[in-house]
Structure 1
Amino acid sequence: MSDPTVYRHRDFILFASSRFLSTVAMMVQSVAIGWQIYEIERTPLALGLVGLCQFLPMFLFTLPAGEMTDRFDQRRVLSLALLLQGLCAAIFLTLSITGIKTAVAYYAVLVLFGVGRGFASPAGQSLTPFLVPPERLPRAIALNSSVFTTAVIAGPAMGGFLYAFGPEVTYSLCLAFFVAASAITAIIGGRRRAKEVNTEMSRFERVVEGIRFVKNRPVILGAISLDLFAVLLGGATALLPLFARDILHTGPWGLGLLRSAPAVGAALVALALTGRPIERNIGVKMFAAVAVFGVATIVFGLSSNFYLSMGALFVLGASDMISVFVRQSLVSFATPDEMRGRVGAVNMLFIGASNELGEFESGITAALFGSIPAVIIGGLGTLGVVAIWMKLFPPLRDVDRLKDIEFKQA
C-alpha cells in the first residue's frame, strides 16, 4: 500500500483545481482574442497568426523549461508561469480599456503569453505522477483530462457570454483566474523528486538527453508525432471565428458554443475512461480514434448547418480524447522520475506545434485555397498520416497493454 502521507488526495485536488481555473481563463481569453482580432483584420491569416505568435516562444522555451523543471521544484516553475499568464491578461485588459485597435499590440502580448505556456506545460505535465501512486495513474490521467475538458467546455461558452458585456469584463475574469491558479499551485504538496544525481552534465546536454530518450523509444515517438501531424493538418478550431461569423452566421455566443463542442465530446469520453480506462489493443484504438478525428474534420468543413457543425466538432473532440489518454499514459509509464520534465517538454513541444502551429497552417491554407477547402484538405491529410504512421511505427500499432510498455522499450 502507498503511504498516505506521501500521496495525499488533497494535493491532487489542488492541482486539478489550479488546472481547471487556468484552463478556463485560457479558453475565455482565446474567444475574446479571436473575436477582437478578426473584427480588426477580417482575414483568416490574422487568425492563423494568433497561433504562430504563441508557438514561436513555446518552441524556444519549452525544452529549456523541461530541463529547469527537472532541476527545480515543478510547483514553483508552474506557479510563476501561471503568474506570467495573468500578467498577459492584465495587459489585454489595459489594451481594451484604452481602446487600442491595432492587432500588432495583441500579437505582442500573445508572444509573451506563449513564453508563459512554454514554462507551464512541462511543469504541469510532469507533476501528476508525484501526486498519485503508480497503480492509480491511468485513472488520475483520465480524471485530469476530464477536469481539463470540462474547463474547455465552460471556458469558450463563458467567454462568448462575457464578451457580450465587453472585453474588459472578459479579461478581468482571466486575470483573476490565472492569479488564483498560481496561488493554489504554490501550496501543492505530494511526493518530491529525489535530488539530482548527475551534476556533471551541462544544461544543453540534459536537454539533449531528454530528446534522445524520446527518439530511442518508437512507441512514445510514434504517439506524440502522430498527434503532431494529425492535429497540425486537421485543426479547424483556428478558423472558428470565420466559420461562426461568415458561414454559420452566428455571433460571439455561437462561437463560444462551437469552441465548447469538441470539449463536450472529450469530457464524456474522459469521464468514461476515468471509470474504465482502455486496457487492451491500445495502439489500434489510438489509430482508429485519430482516423475518426480526420473524418469529423471533413464533415465540419462541408457543413453549413450550425447543429451539424456542432455535432462534427463533438465527435472530433471525443476521438481526440482517446488519443490524448493513450499518449499521456504511454509517456507517464515509460519515463523515469528524473526525466519527467524533459520528456514532458518534448511531448508538450509536439502538442504546442500541433495546436498553435496548426492554427497558423490553417490560416495560411485558408488564405490560399479558401476556408472550406482548407478544412477538408486538413481532414484528408489526417487520414493520410494515420495510414503512414501505422506502417512507420508498428511497435505503436501493436501495443496491447500499458503495463507492457516498459518491457517493449527496454
Structure 2
Amino acid sequence: MPKNDPYAALRYREFNIFLLLRFALVFAWTMQFVVIEWEVYSITKDPLSLGIIGLMEVIPAVSMALFAGHVVDQKEKKSLLIKCIIGFSVVSLGLFLITWPRLIGGLTTNTILYIVYFLVFMGGIVRAFLGPTIFSLFSLLIPKKVYPNAATWSSSVWQVGAVLGPAFGGFAIHWIGVHWAMCFIFALSLLALICLFQIPKKPVLNPNIGEPVMKSLKGGLKFVYSNKVILGALSLDMIAVLFGGAVALLPIFAQDILNVGSEGFGILRAAPAVGAAIIMFTSAYFPLNKNAGMKLLAAIFGFGLCIIVFGLSTWFWLSVFALFMSGVTDGISMIIRQTILQLKTPDAMRGRVASVNSMFVGSSNELGAFESGLTAKLMGTVTAVVFGGCMTLVTVVATGAILPKFRKLDLEEDLKEFSE
C-alpha cells in the first residue's frame, strides 16, 4: 500500500458500507432538525422556540451520555446500532405524522409544539447511544495503521452530511413542503438500517465485561481528564461550537434580515457543505497530522472570524461566502479532532470516551442553538451572532496560551507506531 495512499481506508468494503450508513444517518438527522426548526419558527415567530428545540435534544443527550458509553463498551456494537436506528425511525415517523395537515387539523398550535418537543426529546435519548456506538464500530472495521486516513473520510462524510442535510432540508421545504420532507427523512433511516445489515457482528474488545457502572463511568472520566490532548481538543471544539452556533438562527436571517425566503435559506445552508466537500478531498491527499495542534487552533480561530462576518453581513452573497469558509474551517477541525480521538483512545474505552465527546461537542450543537436563540431574544439576532464569534476567538487564544503542549501536538509519531 502506498505510503500516503489517500484511499487507504476505502479499500476495506465494510468501511465503505459504514460511510454510506453514517452519511444517511447524519444527513437525515440534520435535515430533520432544520425542517423542524423552520416549521416551529413559522408557527411561533419566536427565536426562543428555536432554542427550546435544541434544549429538548441536548438534555437527554447529555444526561444519559456517560451511561450510554458504559453500555456501548459492554455490548456488541452492531446490535446496539440496530436499536438506535429503529429508535430514530420511530421519531422520524412521529414527526411525519405530526406535520400531516389532515391528521393535525383539530389540534391547537401549543399541542403540536409540545408533541414536537417530546419527539425531539426522545431523539435526544437515541442520540446519547448513537454517537458512542458509531465511534466504537468504526475502530473494528479497519486496521489501526489506516486510522488517520479513515478518520479523514469518516469526519468529512459526517461534515458533508451535516451540512448537506440541512441544505437539502431548506430546498425540500420549498419543493415538497415540511410534511413530505419528513417522509424522505424516514426513508433515509430505513436505508441506514439496510446498510447496517451488510456488516457482520464484531467482537467486544473489553476485558472488563460486567464491570460495575459507577466504576466504569469514573474510569472513563479519569482517562479523558488525565489525557490533556483529548481534553484540550474536546474543550476547544465544545466552546467554539457552543458560541459559534449561528446556523441555528438561519431561519431568522433568511426570513427577516436577508429577505431571501426558503430558496435563499437552502443556499445559505448549502454554503458550508461546499467548503466541507473541498476539505474532504484535499485532506485525503494532504493529511493534517503534522503540527495538528496549531492547525486545529488556526481552524477554529478562522471559524470564529467567519461567524462574525456572517453576523455583520447584510449582503446575501457575502453571507454565503462566510458560511462557505466556516464549512472549510469546521471541516479541518472535525478531521483533526476525530484523528486525535481514534489514535489516543484504547479499544476498551472507546464507548466512554465517545460519550464524553458527545457531551462536549456533539450536544454543544443543540446547546449552541439554545444559546443562540436565547441571546438573540435578549440582545438581538445580529449582536448574538457576533458575540458568539468573538467568544470563539477568545477561547482559541486562551487555549493556546494555557496548553502549550497542545500547540506542539504532532500526530505523525502516533501514526509511525501503528505503521511499524
Q: TM-score range by the shorter chain?
A: over 0.9
Report how far residue 191 of structure 1 moved. 5.5
Q: Does 1:325 align with 2:335?
A: yes
Q: In the TM superposition, what whole-angstrom CA distance separates every residue of 1:102-137 from its partner, at most 9, and x where no partner exists?
A: 322211110011111111011111222211111211
Per-residue deviation, 1:146: 2.5
Q: Is structure 2 residue 186 aligned with structure 1 residue 183? A: no
Structure 2 counterpart of 1:83 = 86
For residue 276 of structure 1, report the CA deviation from its aligned partner: 1.9
Does 2:31 match 1:28? yes
Equivalent in the alignment of 2:279: 269
Give the 5 Å matches for 1:127-142.
Answer: 127-142=137-152
Any conservation in 2 of the 1:126–1:341 contact (CA below 8 Å)? yes
Matches within 5 A, 1:144-163: 144-163=154-173
Shift in alpha-carbon separation, 1:202–1:405, aligned structure 2, 3 A: farther
Question: Which amino acid in structure 1 is aligned with residue 181 of structure 2?
Answer: T
Give secondary structure in 1 for the equivalent of 2:211: coil
1-structure distance, mates of 2:60, 2:215? 21
Question: Partners of 2:166 and 2:208 in 1: how far apart?
Answer: 44
CA contact (8 A) 1:8 1:132 kept: no
Equivalent residue letter for 1:214: V
Structure 1: which 4+ aligned runs deviate by more than 4 Å? 404-407
Matched ranges for 1:357-376 at <5 A: 357-376=367-386
Name the stretch that deviates more: 386-395 or 107-116.
386-395
Q: Which amino acid aligns with 2:182?
A: Y
Corresponding residue to 2:237 among 218, 227, 237 = 227
Per-residue Cα deviation, 1:355-380 (whole angstroms, up to 9, x for no partner) = 11111011111111000000001111
Report the CA distance between 1:187 and its aligned residue.
3.3
Alpha-carbon deviation of 1:405? 8.9
Deviations 1:19-75 (A, max 9, x none): 111122112212210110001111111111111111001012221111111111112
Cα offset, 1:401, TM superposition: 2.8
Aligned-pair CA distance for 1:396: 1.1
Q: Is there any run of 5+ residues in structure 2 with no aligned partner, and where?
A: 2-9
Aligned residue runs from structure 1 range 258-337, under 5 A: 258-337=268-347
Letter in 1 for 2:188: F
Runs (5+) with no aligned partner, structure 1: 2-6
- Tell me the equivalent position of 1:4: none
| 1:341 counterpart SS class | helix
Distance 1:117 1:9, change over 3 A: same
Q: How big is each residue's C-alpha offset from its partner over 1:234-288, in whole Å with a ceiling of 9 and x where there is no partner?
A: 2101101111110111222222221221222122112211122113211111111
Paired AA for residue 13 in structure 1: N
* 1:62 aligns to 2:65 (yes or no): yes
Q: 1:377 aligns with which of 387, 402, 408?
A: 387
**Matching residue's letter, 2:380:** G
CA contact (8 A) 2:159 2:334 kept: no
Q: Does 1:250 align with 2:253?
A: no
Structure 1 partner of 2:55: 52
Distance in 2 separating the partners of 1:298 and 1:106: 31
CA shift in 2, pair 1:402/1:213, >3 Å: farther
- Are 2:227 and 1:217 aligned? yes
Contact 1:31 1:255 in 2 (8 A): no
- Length, aligned pairs only: 401
The whole-number CA distance in structure 2 between the counterparts of 1:125 and 1:107 is: 27
Query: TM-score when scaled to structure 2?
Result: 0.91
| 2:180 aligned with 1:169 | yes
The Cα shift of 1:200 comes to 6.1
Aligned-partner Cα distance in 2 for 1:405–1:214: 20
Given the superposition, is the C-alpha separation of residues 9 and 345 from structure 1 closer, same or farther in structure 2, using an over 3 Å criterion? Answer: same
Q: Partners in 1 of 2:413 and 2:163 — Cα distance?
A: 32
Task: Tell me the distance in 2 between the aligned counterparts of 1:189 and 1:395.
Answer: 40
